[in-house]
Structure 1
Amino acid sequence: MEIEKRFKNWILQEDHPCIMAQTVFSQKAFRINNYGELGDVNNVRKLLKDINHYVENYDFTSNDFQTLIAVFPDSEITCEDEFELLLWKQLSDLARADNKTWDAEVSNDPENENFSFSLGGRAFYIVGMHPESSRIARKSPYPSIAFNLHHQFEKLREMGVYHNVRDKIRERDKNLQGSINPVLQDFGERSEARQYSGKATEEEWTCPFHR
């Protein structure tokens, strides 16, 4: 599969700064699915079904992590602003179609510092990626969304390695690009919604999320 091959090369052969991504790909603990065009309402049902399957089959007792990557190879992204709007349209459509209750451990208000996206009853940290990203670490072969369960970050805290992993990733990102992404902050300090698209957001930025 060409899409999977290009992603594996980007993460492993090009030494991606996210060591968690490298671990997941090295252990083949990922799923990559093609959903056509980003923001297309016709892909919502299939994507939501795959997310629910991912949640239902995830082993929450294990220390092994998995990730689901939705790829949209039919989308021609021209700039970061376009990607951001399409990303949030896709997420908004998914939220409207989801019949599960928002994860009670996080806020559903994107302006709240405890906000995290929720699908299938579980909180997710969303990583938007695309070829036109100004951040090298987000400059993926295709427009894509990585769905990472928030549980995984809590598991890292439980294991006592969260801060070491976080600092290592940020150090590698800085070595790659000369700086870390200025929007990066720990959960609870500021809404993580600002981080999802990967672009730097202005202070007056308003999240284009619609439930």
Structure 2
Amino acid sequence: MPAPVTPLFPWRHEDQDRFERLLEEHVQDRLFPCVGAKAALAKGTLNVLACNRIDSGWDDLRIHDGLLRFAEAYREEPALYRSFAVVFNGPTELSEAEFEQSLWTRIQSLSDKDVWRGQEYDTRVSPNPDDTHFSLSFGGEAFFVVGLHPNASRPARRFAKPTLVFNLHDQFEILRADGLYESMREKILVRDEALAGTRNPMLARHGESSEARQYSGRVVEESWRCPFHYQGQND
């Protein structure tokens, strides 16, 4: 008999099942614009991790464990349309600026743990948030983050719980290589415009401007500077 497979998230939060259903219902909504998330849900590769508070480091080790397992699973089977969503129980009253601050605090903590655990930064991207080729890296794989929360001004970023969705950078490169990236991007933009009345002004292609400006969903000022600082060696 084959050896038992280690679950992606072996320890379950008491709200795990509830948060999974909550996110699945949100993505299934016909108005939800992200066709990539819909594809991941349909394939059963939308992974959800329930956590406590986005403004606390209580679950950061669990989240980082999940990211390492997620990256390893992708390397073993590099199939398209995989996402790792961390859904926090609260706080649900955060403003856009407060959510953005909590998002970057969690990202900084997770990145610091990646360094502490001896993980290499994905050499295909830059750890410098001012670089147009910036992406985060966990377990040697580059990630793009999409933040969702109840008080987002863009309807596409509005969700009942504060949430960080980690998407693999390599998947975007595969879509580009297969000639599918631009058509998918246009579908998302069209659906977002139908939902909000305007296209998201923060969306840009990788390499045109730093993707860090897109993570929180807030329309940031031209003078905005990302608070993230990679603490490992930058070769």
Q: TM class by shorter-chain length? A: over 0.9
> CA contact under 8 A between 1:183 and 1:194: conserved in structure 2?
yes
Higher mean displacement: 86-95 or 175-184: 175-184
Q: Give 1:156's aligned residue.
A: 175
Q: For the residues of structure 2 that align with 1:209 and 1:39, how far apart are their CA atoms? A: 16
Task: State the 1:62 CA deviation.
Answer: 4.3
Which of 105, 114, 133 pairs up with 2:133? 114
Q: Give 1:139's aligned residue.
A: 158
% identity of equivalent residues: 35
SS of 2:143 mapped into structure 1: strand
Q: Give 1:209's aligned residue.
A: 228
Higher mean displacement: 54-63 or 37-46: 54-63
Q: For the residues of structure 1 that align with 2:105 and 2:168, how far apart are their CA atoms? A: 20
Q: Give 2:64's aligned residue.
A: 48
Per-residue deviation, residues 92-129 of structure 1 (Å, max 9, x unmatched): 00111113111111111101111111111111010011
Q: For the residues of structure 2 that align with 1:60 and 1:38, how far apart are their CA atoms? A: 30
SS of 1:173 mapped into structure 2: helix
Q: Residue type matched to 1:54 in 2?
A: F
Q: TM-score when scaled to structure 1?
A: 0.95
Q: Residue type matched to 2:44 in 1?
A: K
Task: State the 1:59 CA deviation.
Answer: 4.7
- For structure 2, which runs of at least 5 residues remain unmatched after alignment? 1-16, 231-235
Q: Residue type matched to 1:74 in 2?
A: G
- What is the alpha-carbon root mean square deviation over aligned residues? 1.4
Q: Give 1:5's aligned residue.
A: 21
**Residue 195, structure 1, aligned to residue 195, structure 2:** no
SS of 2:137 mapped into structure 1: strand
**Residue 70, structure 1, aligned to residue 86, structure 2:** yes
Q: For the residues of structure 2 that align with 1:119 and 1:130, how far apart are their CA atoms? A: 23
Corresponding residue pairs, total = 211
Task: State the 1:45 CA deviation.
Answer: 1.0
> CA contact under 8 A between 2:55 and 2:91: conserved in structure 1?
no
Q: Residue type matched to 1:201 in 2?
A: V
> CA contact under 8 A between 2:144 and 2:167: conserved in structure 1?
yes
Task: State the 1:41 CA deviation.
Answer: 1.9
Task: State the 1:210 CA deviation.
Answer: 3.2
Task: State the 1:77 CA deviation.
Answer: 3.4
Q: TM-score when scaled to structure 2?
A: 0.86
- For structure 1, which runs of at least 5 residues remain unmatched after alignment? none
Which of 145, 170, 176 pairs up with 2:195? 176
Which is higher, the Rg of structure 1 or of structure 2? Answer: 2
